Structure 1
């Protein structure tokens, strides 16, 4: 079962309440998403560490309805 953009955004904002999140459906099928996440928690962390934080927060979703998620992460300017 595919997820909606709102569901993907909620998963991310539940894990990172201070984040600014933009979700894009990459191919129009509700299965392949891109997320741009700008969050203070990423400050001082490498891109790999940032992605590890997101992947850990979404672990259950990846085991179920979330099929593919391309990440762009950064700390606020």
Structure 2
């Protein structure tokens, strides 16, 4: 099974997004060429998944995650 594709990676410039291996940019293993494949957020902006049909099943996954948010249980 393929790895889950991240919608908002923290450092997309550090990874090649050309296949399911997600190799570091300094050690490409899939042989897809001499350069890395950019993440759609780098090319189209942070809202890249809202335009077109990317095949994501869950709209909740498409919501950006706030890394500074505190998650409290509901009372």
TM > 0.5 between the two? no
TM-score (norm 2): 0.25
Q: More helix per residue: 1 or 2?
A: 1
Q: More strand per residue: 1 or 2?
A: 1
Where relative contact order (Cα < 8 A, 6+ residues apart) is larger, the structure is 1
Question: Which structure would you say has the larger Rg?
Answer: 2
TM-score (norm 1): 0.25
